[in-house]
Structure 1
Amino acid sequence: MPRANEEIEALLQEYADLIAITGGDAFRARSYEKAARAIGGYHADVTKLDAKGFQEIPNVGKSIADKITEYLTTGQISVVEERRRSVPAGVRELMTIPMLGPKKAMLLYDELDIASVDQLLDAIHHERLRDLKGFGEKTEENLLHGISLMQKAGNRILLNAAMDSAEQIVAELSRIKGCEGCTYAGSLRRMRETIGDVDILVAAEKSAPFMEALAGLPYTAETIAHGDKKTSIRTTRGLQVDLRVLPPDSWGAGLQYFTGSKAHNIRTREIAVRHKLKLSEYGLFDVETGKKITSGTEEEIYERLGLPWIPPTLREDRGEIAAGLRGELPDLVTEKDIRGDLHTHTDLTDGLAPLEDMIAAAAACGYAYYAITDHAPDLAMQRMTREKMLAQRERVRALDRKHRGMRLLHGTELNIGPEGDVDWPADFLAGFDICVASIHSHFNQSRRALTRRLIRACENPYVAVIGHPTTRRIGKRPGIDADFDAVFEACARTGTALEINAHLERLDLGDEDILRAKRYGVKFAVDSDSHSTTHLPYMRYGVATAQRGWLTKDDIINTWTLTKLRAFLRPKP
């Protein structure tokens, strides 16, 4: 279940938005935004801290510490409740639309009396927004796209939120007497980027103890359905969880069936039919005799169908069945193959933890090497200077090998400007071990301009990795409209890696883009883009995304030895 840190983060961010909506002090709103981010990314659970401990969190002073105490004591923050009452509910609904900020939401309400998504859609279709200051045809397109993103997301949640809930439930049910197996299945096991509901499977002779336990968990808000074979609940966070209890001798067939995808299962059933067999969640049966042939493990199911075991992350009917029949399934990269993280931040810019803490946390991950890549100066709010960066470099060099022998790389995340230029000149870039370059602004340029911008960055001899290439924020911001086939071709030509950014709101590149880029011969870097020590474990989700893109460790530069990696990172001729 979500940590209290995340719940408080969401409340304080909402408060910052409400301050902005009601014309409050912009500096005050920004202070709450900073505090929200700091609390959400703080390594310690706030429920374990006292008032003094709250104020040790960056950007948290006495006033915000008091609000944390109030939330932990009462379950709410009174000033947030008061501010909510001062803002029409319709405006708060509009604020949930990606691409629409709080001030524009309030303007729509004040000027056009728009208080719902449906009313906004009607106004866009009748071109009523175009007379408002700050609105135009392009704004309408962006809002329509934002509404589409929101509607597609529906009640879907990010991968890690679903995983946290699933793993906690699996742990609880696994302790019950009679449990012979328990795991999550469905789209979560396939590690899709968003999850609609969570499927939990249990292997046991008796189902009642597990059904009762699920319904009785403290974070179960309601029981949607309760039966002998399936129980569905909704958690206090609104997530639906479906529990199925299978006979132990049907475990493998049930796991294969409920993992999906539906399209993958259709393919496996078609193969079964050709072999005069029937495949269901209970087993693989001979059609003529009705005799169960096998069902104990997934491996047995696939083997009897003439296939190797297919990793869940590949089960999307994207050629995995044919590849399996040919014996050509990839040896997928695993988290153990990752030797280091090449994109991370400290509190020198917008990170939340000091350099030493980030390095220690990375060493605890078992990495052989680790890169610090704080922002360059074109992100003005970070106030980066040459002097600050050089001072950090000295500290990095001094800490090299000091944590479990881990080697340190001093890098930077450059900003790809509107014309494809980057922050610093060549003579300064030459001093970095690694340069990641990313787009952070001007997302609405033309397709041609965005494509040219990325290609020019690839052609910069000092740029080794293009960070979060599409710039998308899942459910919040669409990817940029660039000709990515041309970008992939440029990356392959120039020897520039594309990042698979493991942050849960990004997972960028996504799996389909990875599949396309791989065909061009592009290399990749799976990075956490950590801004806190608590973000480093996101690597797990980046690796899963790489698996969904059929990548092996040879495709990923941060699985390589440091010697091989350094050769790749050298400036391009």
Structure 2
Amino acid sequence: MRANDEVAELLEEYADLIAITGGDAFKVRVYEKAARSVAGHPEDISTLDAAGLRGIPNVGKSIALKIEEYLRTGAIHQVEEMRGRIPAGVRRLTRIPTLGPRRAMLLYEELGISSVEQLAAAIEEGALHDLHGFGPKTEENLLHGIELVRTAGRRSTLGDALELAESIVAELSDVPGCERCGYAGSLRRMRDTIGDVDILATSARPADLMAAFSGLPMVEEVIASGPTKTSIRTTKGIQVDLRVVPPDDWGAALQYFTGSKAHNIRTREIAVRAGLKLSEYGLFEVADGGKSGAKIVSRTEEEVYARLGLPWIPPQLREDNGEIEAALRGELPDLVTEDDIRGDLHTHTDLSDGLASLEEMAAAAADRGYAYYAVTDHAPNLYMHRTSDEKMLAQRSRLRELDGTYRGLRLLHGTELNIDPEGGVDWPGDFLAGFDLCVASVHSHFTQPRDAMTRRLIRACENPHVHILGHPTARLIGRRPPIDADLDAVFQACARTGTAVEIDASPDRLDLAAEHIRLARRHGIVFTIDSDAHATPHLDFLRYGVGTAQRGWLSADDVLNTWPLERVRRFLSGPPD
């Protein structure tokens, strides 16, 4: 883990501890903002001196001293002191949606509840009935929130898992004797969340790989160790399994351990019908008595699929959602790739809640080789972001000055509008007409009834100045469930009004999810894949959105920001009269 992430986690924990103990709300916000700034800072903070640390937005002298203490000693003494006053479980209680720090501390002080499990038991036993502010509806919401926390606790975000897997693969690939190394499982299929991380390798010296794996810095515990498989638990609580197979078995093992289980059942059925047997060791002829006979192929996935009469099927599609049938018909999609993306159409700067300036974000976008880039800061109805008409117009003026100056990068001035409970947005039409594009998203009132929420989204799509429906279900993975809306009706409205639907690539969102992308795709609508970046490193989130789009069977032409700028502008200008 980067020093930036380690320090950000500590600052966020300190903010939580201050809130739990009833500390100053302003101080809580200061540390929350500092945590976000440190996590999003593009430089490695371990390389910065005191002046460099104070140059990070929202990091003043006091916080910089705490960061220096951590970099020097591996701890922040104020955090250690507060940890000693509050059970660790109480902080985890604050992760439950609708249960804030003060109420978490109340549960601890009044009932001795210091874990999610204790809270669930107390609700079931009726122990909360006499506590002020904990009525039946609150208890129902808490039980739902507990299930979200439990589910999230068993799985990692795609971003965390992929960063970990790539780090391990890089380390093991440098071990002498390692011939091939890669990740498999649900991570290779780019699922929204990941359980255990599966690493596969080939080597004639598996013992050396196992020893190197067990000795990695992130290893907290070696769960099990053997000659060809070792399982560890990382300091972040993620289980990682390493399997070492003979070089000749790589393709069959990669196909098998990538999964999914349902996809593998289908491929094994095809093998059986052909009088063959498919396993992680290869594709075999069947000998007398049903036992494996001579090995036919196993070295590459392509060989395995070809011998089954199938083209190679991209891992992201291997969920038994029709990919076998499409492969047999020769109708697998040519999936969108990160190289297809020509620009990013939903990003933020420090004008609203971003951490970097317009100039810094534009320069980072140009470094990625983009042809165009949209800045879409929040509109003023989200009052905490302190935007205004005047600030937006000043930003537009500056953006026009910079247009084309970063390696020819074309800059678009946009905004992310807030969809209010009735489906209205922040500005009147004459002001919205001045933007190059408008993203409209739900940021509040997440529990509206289904009919009202559906009308709300459809009305926003019907606004002629709304070009993109942003993170359409408003979910935060493991923290907030999707809104309840008739998405099929919403997608019909998007098709009718020419509104694009976003795949928000933030690993905490990945919204739309793959199953909703497949539903929307039937209506022939246009999608965008956007980073929703609030700092320059967040531009890298795009890869997660691309993986999600691939799981949704999207090709490049389905995605607005793979198009040339002229075609994008025609889409944004709407259909001809």
1:87 is displaced (CA, Å) by 2.2
The equivalent of 2:475 in structure 1 is 472
What's the TM-score once normalised by structure 2's chain length?
0.96
Superposed, which structure 2 residues align to 1:386-405 within 5 Å? Answer: 386-405=389-408
The equivalent of 1:523 in structure 2 is 526
The equivalent of 1:26 in structure 2 is 25
The answer to whether structure 1 residue 304 and structure 2 residue 304 are counterparts is no
The equivalent of 2:170 in structure 1 is 171
1:535 is displaced (CA, Å) by 0.2
- Matching residue's letter, 1:217: L
**Deviation per residue, 1:48-99 (Å, 9 max, x gap):** 1111111000000111011111111222111111112222444224223233
- Matching residue's letter, 1:277: L
Asked if the contact 2:498–2:574 (Cα under 8 Å) also holds between the matched residues in 1, the reply is no
The answer to whether structure 1 residue 481 and structure 2 residue 484 are counterparts is yes
Q: In structure 2, how many angstroms separate the alpha carbons of the residues matched to 1:353 and 1:385?
A: 18
What's the TM-score once normalised by structure 1's chain length?
0.97
Q: In structure 2, how many angstroms separate the alpha carbons of the residues matched to 1:43 and 1:539?
A: 16
- Matching residue's letter, 1:416: I
**Deviation per residue, 1:219-276 (Å, 9 max, x gap):** 2222221111111122222222111111111111111111111111111111000001
**Deviation per residue, 1:295-336 (Å, 9 max, x gap):** 111001000001010000011111111111111111110001
- Runs of 5+ in structure 1 lacking a partner? none
Q: In structure 2, how many angstroms separate the alpha carbons of the residues matched to 1:449 and 1:110?
A: 39
The equivalent of 1:345 in structure 2 is 348
Asked if the contact 1:465–1:496 (Cα under 8 Å) also holds between the matched residues in 2, the reply is yes
Asked if the contact 2:20–2:91 (Cα under 8 Å) also holds between the matched residues in 1, the reply is no
Asked if the contact 1:232–1:241 (Cα under 8 Å) also holds between the matched residues in 2, the reply is yes
Aligned with 1:556 (options 555, 559, 565): 559
Asked if the contact 1:468–1:500 (Cα under 8 Å) also holds between the matched residues in 2, the reply is yes
Q: In structure 1, how many angstroms separate the alpha carbons of the residues matched to 2:139 and 2:370?
A: 46
**Deviation per residue, 1:1-21 (Å, 9 max, x gap):** x21111111111111111111
Q: In structure 2, how many angstroms separate the alpha carbons of the residues matched to 1:412 and 1:116?
A: 41
- Matching residue's letter, 2:451: R
Aligned with 1:568 (options 568, 571, 575): 571
Asked if the contact 1:98–1:475 (Cα under 8 Å) also holds between the matched residues in 2, the reply is no
- Runs of 5+ in structure 2 lacking a partner? none
- Matching residue's letter, 2:309: G
The answer to whether structure 1 residue 359 and structure 2 residue 362 are counterparts is yes
The answer to whether structure 1 residue 220 and structure 2 residue 219 are counterparts is yes
Superposed, which structure 2 residues align to 1:359-508 within 5 Å? Answer: 359-508=362-511
1:156 is displaced (CA, Å) by 1.4
The answer to whether structure 1 residue 73 and structure 2 residue 72 are counterparts is yes
1:153 is displaced (CA, Å) by 2.4
1:131 is displaced (CA, Å) by 5.6
Asked if the contact 1:501–1:527 (Cα under 8 Å) also holds between the matched residues in 2, the reply is yes
> Could you say what secondary structure the match of 1:270 adopts?
helix
How many residues were matched structurally? 572
CA RMSD of aligned residues (A): 1.5
**Deviation per residue, 1:431-489 (Å, 9 max, x gap):** 00000001111111211211111111000000000111111111111111111111111
> Could you say what secondary structure the match of 1:96 adopts?
coil
Asked if the contact 1:18–1:83 (Cα under 8 Å) also holds between the matched residues in 2, the reply is yes
Asked if the contact 1:286–1:293 (Cα under 8 Å) also holds between the matched residues in 2, the reply is yes
The equivalent of 2:39 in structure 1 is 40
Worse-matched range after superposition: 101-110 or 221-230: 101-110
Asked if the contact 2:16–2:91 (Cα under 8 Å) also holds between the matched residues in 1, the reply is no
Superposed, which structure 2 residues align to 1:223-234 within 5 Å? Answer: 223-234=222-233
Q: In structure 2, how many angstroms separate the alpha carbons of the residues matched to 1:431 and 1:378?
A: 18
Worse-matched range after superposition: 408-417 or 205-214: 205-214
The answer to whether structure 1 residue 543 and structure 2 residue 527 are counterparts is no
Distance 1:543 1:89, change over 3 A: closer
1:391 is displaced (CA, Å) by 0.6
Identity of aligned residues (%): 68
Asked if the contact 1:99–1:476 (Cα under 8 Å) also holds between the matched residues in 2, the reply is no
1:100 is displaced (CA, Å) by 2.0
> Could you say what secondary structure the match of 1:526 adopts?
strand
